[in-house]
């Protein structure tokens, strides 16, 4: 039994696509609907206006993960808000990103005024928009944004966070988030501003920002697990944690759930392996659970042991 609930909705499996992965166009979203092992569908982060994103090459595949500097290419919020308001067999999560606080407020007012009753996720952590800081690294601004948002927004809302690396930062972001009626926190976004060097060419591997970009895939798994675990230990039980980052095997999914994840997203590995990854992960997770005698995710969710 793989059922999980979030924001009053039932997800038949714990798997999601990470936002930005195969979810920008109508065709890509339709492909996701066809993946039976996916529990829900997350849209590409939508901005007020459509964006072409940064110059290519803006994604580079590595043996140990990936680096990207996409720059929020997306079809604009009208397209995604239309999409989530249509009938779908799976729950949707509408991801939105503002280039300013005013944008965020305008976007969420549109969502609030619409007929959409599903989940929305505010991306506070895009590392790739040139000249824009990641909001969630500024705790005071994060509190200001959420205070304004919750003065009018009454639908299920979560936030997407960047990774934190300092235990005091976990305390500080949790103290902010616990003051708001969030359905969930999605952690982690890509690990911002890594730099990959091609030694033979003596060159960077992506064009925007002089080669700096967000890291994903296997290399970020321990960072993702630390963020899921640290936030699960600090956030109100009413705030679910969506685990994102570094999943390449069913064991990695199991680890995310053991650290407290309600649902688990897959990003880089979908790009490497295609949408068939979800069937493999589900099989591997089932095999692990069966070997351990577990029949539901609740049997081990959040039950990581310490020494
Ligand atoms: C992009 C990357 C992110 O990590 C994110 O949260 C939003 C957008 C991007 O570059 O498109």
Determine the distance separating the centroid of ligand 1 and the alpha carbon of 305, expressed in angstroms.
33
Which pLDDT band holds residue 182 (cuts at 50, 70, 90)? very high
pLDDT 10s digits, 49-90? 999 999 999 999 999 999 999 999 999 999 999 999 999 999
CA distance 14 to 5: 9
Q: Is the per-residue pLDDT at 126 higher than 90? A: no
CA distance 43 to 124: 15
Contacts of 82 (CB under 8 A, 6+ apart): none
List strand residue ranges (DSSP E) for 18-91, in order: 38-42, 59-62, 65-68
CA atoms within 13 A on the CB side of 239: 25
Determine the distance separating the centroid of ligand 1 and the alpha carbon of 240, expressed in angstroms.
22
Determine the distance separating the centroid of ligand 1 and the alpha carbon of 167, expressed in angstroms.
25
In the prediction, which pLDDT does 136 show? 97
**CATH assignment of 4-53+72-190+218-299, among 3.40.50.970, 3.40.50.880, 3.20.20.70, 1.10.10.60:** 3.20.20.70
CA-nearest residue for atom 5, ligand 1, is: 126
* Cβ of 125 less than 6 Å from ligand 1: yes
**Are 76 and 47 within 8 A, CB to CB?**
yes
Which pLDDT band holds residue 236 (cuts at 50, 70, 90)? very high
Could you give the percent of the chain with pLDDT greater than 90? 97
CA-nearest residue for atom 11, ligand 1, is: 72
Could you give the percent of the chain with pLDDT greater than 70? 100
Of 173, 301, 163, 179, the closest CA to residue 238 belongs to: 179
In this prediction, residues 232-237 reach a mean pLDDT of 98
Q: Which residue has the tokens 């714990």?
A: 14
In the prediction, which pLDDT does 131 show? 79
In the prediction, which pLDDT does 74 show? 98
Q: Is the per-residue pLDDT at 139 higher than 90? A: yes
CA-nearest residue for atom 3, ligand 1, is: 126
- CA distances in angstroms from 255 to 15, 16, 125, 215, 297, listed in the order given: 14, 16, 23, 20, 11
In the prediction, which pLDDT does 143 show? 97
In the prediction, which pLDDT does 172 show? 98
Determine the distance separating the centroid of ligand 1 and the alpha carbon of 295, expressed in angstroms.
36
**Are 49 and 298 within 8 A, CB to CB?**
no
* Cβ of 189 less than 6 Å from ligand 1: yes
Q: For ligand 1, pick from 128, 135, 217 the residue to mutate: most ligand atoms within 8 Å of CB.
A: 128
Q: Is the per-residue pLDDT at 129 higher than 90? A: no
Phi/psi of residue 133, nearest 5 degrees: -80, 160
Structural domain boundaries of the chain? 4-53+72-190+218-299
In the prediction, which pLDDT does 130 show? 80
Determine the distance separating the centroid of ligand 1 and the alpha carbon of 94, expressed in angstroms.
14
Q: Is the per-residue pLDDT at 132 higher than 90? A: no
Determine the distance separating the centroid of ligand 1 and the alpha carbon of 111, expressed in angstroms.
20
* Cβ of 70 less than 6 Å from ligand 1: yes
Of 197, 19, 205, the closest CA to residue 120 belongs to: 19
Tokens of 245: 């980052």
* Cβ of 127 less than 6 Å from ligand 1: yes
In the prediction, which pLDDT does 221 show? 99
CA-nearest residue for atom 6, ligand 1, is: 126
The residues that are catalytic are: 126
CA-nearest residue for atom 2, ligand 1, is: 126
Q: Which atom of ligand 1 is nearest to the CA of 214?
A: 4
- Residue 256 burial (CB count, 10 A): 28
In the prediction, which pLDDT does 66 show? 98
CA distance 264 to 286: 15
CA atoms within 13 A on the CB side of 84: 28
Q: Is the per-residue pLDDT at 133 higher than 90? A: no
Tokens of 65: 């993960």
Q: What angle do CA 127, 130, 133 make, to 5 degrees?
A: 50
In this prediction, residues 4-15 reach a mean pLDDT of 96
* Cβ of 123 less than 6 Å from ligand 1: yes
Contacts of 74 (CB under 8 A, 6+ apart): 24, 44, 45, 46, 47, 50, 51, 53, 80
In the prediction, which pLDDT does 1 show? 81
Q: Which atom of ligand 1 is nearest to the CA of 97?
A: 7
CA distance 68 to 64: 14
């Amino acid at each position: 039994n793989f059922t999980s609930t979030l924001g009053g909705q039932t997800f038949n499996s714990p798997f999601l696509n990470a936002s930005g992965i195969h979810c920008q166009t109508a065709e890509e979203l339709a492909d996701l609907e066809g993946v039976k092992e996916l529990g829900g569908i997350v849209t590409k982060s939508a901005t007020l206006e459509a964006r072409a994103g940064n110059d290519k090459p803006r994604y580079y595949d590595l043996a140990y993960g990936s680096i990207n500097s996409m720059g929020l290419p997306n079809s604009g919020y009208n397209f995604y808000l239309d999409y989530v308001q249509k009938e779908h067999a799976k729950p949707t999560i509408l991801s939105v990103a503002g280039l300013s606080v005013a944008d965020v407020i305008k976007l969420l007012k549109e969502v609030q005024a619409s007929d959409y009753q599903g989940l929305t996720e505010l991306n506070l952590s895009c590392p790739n928009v040139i000249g824009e800081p990641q909001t969630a690294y500024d705790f005071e601004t994060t509190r200001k944004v959420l205070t304004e948002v919750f003065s009018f927004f009454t639908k299920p809302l979560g936030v997407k966070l960047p990774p934190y690396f300092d235990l005091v930062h976990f305390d500080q972001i949790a103290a902010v988030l616990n003051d708001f009626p969030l359905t969930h926190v999605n952690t982690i976004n890509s690990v911002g501003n890594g730099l990959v060097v091609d030694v033979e060419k003596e060159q960077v591997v992506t064009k925007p920002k002089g080669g700096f970009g967000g890291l994903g895939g296997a290399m970020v798994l321990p960072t993702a697990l630390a963020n899921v675990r640290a936030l699960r230990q600090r956030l109100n039980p009413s705030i679910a944690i969506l685990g994102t980052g570094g999943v390449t095997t069913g064991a990695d999914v199991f680890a995310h759930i053991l650290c407290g994840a309600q649902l688990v997203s897959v990003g880089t590995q979908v790009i490497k392996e295609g949408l068939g990854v979800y069937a493999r992960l589900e099989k591997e997770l089932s095999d692990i659970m069966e070997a351990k005698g577990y029949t539901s995710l609740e049997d081990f969710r959040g039950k990581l042991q310490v020494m």
